[in-house]
Amino acid sequence: MTRNVDVLTSSTLKHLRERWWDESFTNFLKDTLQPKSGRRILDVGCGTGTAEVNLSRLRLTQVNLVAVDLLLERVAAALAAARATNFRARFAVADACALPFPNASFDSTFCVAVLQHINDAPRAVGEMARVTRPTGRVLAVEPDNAARYFYSSTAEGMEAHDAAARLFATIQEALGEAGDPGIGPRLPTLFAQSGIEPLSVHLFPVSRAQLGVPPDEVWEERRQAVRDAIDRAPGESIRRLGQDYLKLIDRYAAAAGAAGPSFVEIQNTMLFATVGQRAEQ
Give the pLDDT confidence of 71-86 residue by residue, as tens digits: 999 999 999 998 998 8
> Does the model's pTM come out above 0.75?
yes
178 pLDDT tier (thresholds 50, 70, 90)? low
CATH number of the structural domain spanning residue 64: 3.40.50.150
Report in angstroms the alpha-carbon separations of 87 from 19, 37, 58, 158: 21, 15, 10, 43
Shared domain check, 199 and 98: yes
Kind plus residue range of the DSSP H or E element containing 74: helix 72-84
Structural domain of 90:
1-5+10-144+182-205+270-281
Shared domain check, 74 and 151: no
Q: What is the Cα–Cα distance from 13 to 147, expressed in whole angstroms?
A: 13
Torsion on CA atoms 267, 250, 221, 259, rounded to nearest 10: -50
Q: At 176, which amino acid appears?
A: G
Name the most confidently modeled range: 26-30, 168-172, 275-279: 275-279
pLDDT of 15 reads 58
pLDDT of 2 reads 43
Average pLDDT, the chain: 90
Q: Is the pLDDT of residue 130 over 90?
A: yes
